[in-house]
Each structure stands twice: as C-alpha cells, then as structure tokens.
C-alpha cells in the first residue's frame, strides 16, 4: 500500500515538474511554478491550449504475451482479477449501445476495449462493461470504491488539456468533429442560426460547454445522455442537438427526419481514459493501439461499425510526449 502511494506521489511529481506545458497548472497549487500560465483562465470558458492533448505516453517495452502480464504491473492486477472493467455508455449507436435484440452492449468503443482485453487475456470476451454517466467518465477511473471503479473508459471521450490534469489518455483512436443535428425540414445550417433556440447536449460533455460558449447564444439544455437528447428532440422539447459528428450519425441513423449540418465546430480527438496511478497501463494500451493501427484491426473495426460514414480513413497517427 505504502509503495503504491509512493509510486503515485512520484508520478505526480514527475508530471508536475517536468510535465508537458499543459500540466503547469496541475491541481495542487504548490506543485507548479507557473500558476500564471494560460490555463489559469479556468476551464470551460476558453479552450485550454496549454498542452498537446493528442500526445500520450510512449510505450517503453514490447507487448507482453497475452495471459503473461509482468508481475507488479496494473495489467497483472487485471489478469489476476480475470476481467477488464470497461466504462462506456449504452445509448450511442455505433460507438457503444445496447443491442435491443441481444441485450449486449456493442460498438466501436466497446471493440476498442475488447482489443485491450484480447491483449491481456488472449480472450476478448473477458470484459465487464459498466455504464458510466457522461459526467463521470473522467472520475470513473479513480473512484474510491473498487465496485465503482473502472480500468478504462472508452466512451467518445475527447482528450483535452483540462482532462489531462486529472487522468491520462491513450493515443487518439478516433477523430471526431462537433456538428449540429436539426430537423430535416428546418432551415438551420449550423450553430450560428440557433441563437435563442434550445440546443441539447449531455451534461458533462464538452458539447454542453460548447453551447454555453457559442457566440449565437443558444439556450443550453442538459440531459443525462445523448439518447435522452434524441428523446427530447423527438418530443419537440429542443430544436437541435450538438455533439461530435460520430455520435450524431448514430442518432441520425435512428430517425429519418433529421439531418446533421454545420461546419465542424471543433476537433474532438477521442482517447481512452486511464488513471494516472498506473502509467504502465497507459503505455500498454498505446502499444496495443499501435499494433492494431499497423495490422489493419483498426480499419476493420471502423468498417464494421462506421461504414455509413464512408470508407475507413487512415487511423489517427500516434503522438507521444517529448518528455516520456
């Protein structure tokens, strides 16, 4: 217990002193010398550009064989437990949604998690799916109680500097862009036309902050999930839904009377969230992603779930932090 705490402290210290520029305003005020850095403006209002959110930890070792995780690593903890606990959603068609016929949760995000389980156990089915509320996606990897904690969150979670302060992200596994979903017969062409209109997003998502910050001043409406936003939209409680094009595509696939419009409002690179307490697991995940980018697994997964969005592009290239 004590050694683990020491390791955590060491990691925190490394991040605080030598971390990327974004970590200059780490949560503990006495840790960083540059509290007057750009991030001091506070999260939410202006985008935090103090770091490169796409850059993750570079894998230091080759991937261990499935079922033979090195002792003392977090992967070993997972292996000993017998299953990987993945935090995700159950209402984002294409990424992670409950198949009403089978009751199973499936999608692109779920497959990302399954590929990690495959790398640990040699068996993709050794995975426990736990649904994480949208506003708990970052906190879920660091919950106090083991029953509430998850190993990994893959849930259309945008890697950004504000979140990097609390958790580590894997390298980027999907590039999304924020757009707007409106009624098929409406004249709205994007967020700029939605001034004074009700626009829905999941509480705790960057999309919600985006509505608040939009210059056209739409009225933000928060719902627990984007599925609930679609319900609100179909019940005429809101005029539009804004979030990443990939999620909107999943919503649009369920309602022929909507369209996705607008120029990309912002780039939303998706990464998997992992606790800062075990950087070796982040490195492991990055190594798995790297392997799957190269051997075509990523493209196959894309084609399986996201073929409606067009032919599979090249996977997002991995970027690593200079200091690691």
Q: How far is the CB of 108 from other proteins (least distance, A)?
A: 14
Q: Does residue 225 interact with other proteins by CB under 8 A?
A: yes
Residues 6+ apart with CB under 8 A from 77: none
In the range 3-42, which residues lie near other proteins by CB under 8 A?
A: none
130 lies in the binding site for other proteins (CB under 8 A)? yes
CB of 148 to other proteins, least distance (A): 6
133 binds other proteins (CB under 8 A): yes
> How many Å apart are CA 318 and CA 299, to the nearest integer?
15
**Other CB atoms within 10 Å distance of the CB of residue 154:** 31
State the minimum distance, in angstroms, from the CB of residue 231 to other proteins.
Answer: 5
Give whichever of 141 and 214 is closer to other proteins, judged by the CB atom. Answer: 141
Among 139, 176, 132, which residue's Cα sits nearest to residue 154? 132
152, 33, 147: which is closest to 86 by C-alpha? 152
The binder of other proteins chosen from 12, 20, 78, 85 (CB under 8 A): 85
Q: Measure the N-to-C terminal CA separation of the chain; round to a whole number of Å.
A: 26
Label each residue of 213-227 as H, E or C: HCCCCCEEEEECCHH
Is 114 an interacting residue with respect to other proteins (CB under 8 A)? no
Compute the distance between CA of residue 234 and CA of residue 316 in angstroms, rounded to an integer. Answer: 34
Pairing of strands 105-106, 240-244: unpaired
Least gap, CB of 135 to other proteins (angstroms):
12
Please tell me the count of residues contacting other proteins according to CB under 8 A.
33
Taking the complex as a whole, the smallest distance from the CB of residue 127 to other proteins amounts, in Å, to: 9
222 contacts other proteins (rule: CB under 8 A)? no
For other proteins, the binding residues (CB under 8 A) are: 82-83, 85, 90-93, 97-103, 105, 128-133, 147-148, 224-225, 227-228, 230-231, 234, 251, 254-255
């Amino acid at each position: 217990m004590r050694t683990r705490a020491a390791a955590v402290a060491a990691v925190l210290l490394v991040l605080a002193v030598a971390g990327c520029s974004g970590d200059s305003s780490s949560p503990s005020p006495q840790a960083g010398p540059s509290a007057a850095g750009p991030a001091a403006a506070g999260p939410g209002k202006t985008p935090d550009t103090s770091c490169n959110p796409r850059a993750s930890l570079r894998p230091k070792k080759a991937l261990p064989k499935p079922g033979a995780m090195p002792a003392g690593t977090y992967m070993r903890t997972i292996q000993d437990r017998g299953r990987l606990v993945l935090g995700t959603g159950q209402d984002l068609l294409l990424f992670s949604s409950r198949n009403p016929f089978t009751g199973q949760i499936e999608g692109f995000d779920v497959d990302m998690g399954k590929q990690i389980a495959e790398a640990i156990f040699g068996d993709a089915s050794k995975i426990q799916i736990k649904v994480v509320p949208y506003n708990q996606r970052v906190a879920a990897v660091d919950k106090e109680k083991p029953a509430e904690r998850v190993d990994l969150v893959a849930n259309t979670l945008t890697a950004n500097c504000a979140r990097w302060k609390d958790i580590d992200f894997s390298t980027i596994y999907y590039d999304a862009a924020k757009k707007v979903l409106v009624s098929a017969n409406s004249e709205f062409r994007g967020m700029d036309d939605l001034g004074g209109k009700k626009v829905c997003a999941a509480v705790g998502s960057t999309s919600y902050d985006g509505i608040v910050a939009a210059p056209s001043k739409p009225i933000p409406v928060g719902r627990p999930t984007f599925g609930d936003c679609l319900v609100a939209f179909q019940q005429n409680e809101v005029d539009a839904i804004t979030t990443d094009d990939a999620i909107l595509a999943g919503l649009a696939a369920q309602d022929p009377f909507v369209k996705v419009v607008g120029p990309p409002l912002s780039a939303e690179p998706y990464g998997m969230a992992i606790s800062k307490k075990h950087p070796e697991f982040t490195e492991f995940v990055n190594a798995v992603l790297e392997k799957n980018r190269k051997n075509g697994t990523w493209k196959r997964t894309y084609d399986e779930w996201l073929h409606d969005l067009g032919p599979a592009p090249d996977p997002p290239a991995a970027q690593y932090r200079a200091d690691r």
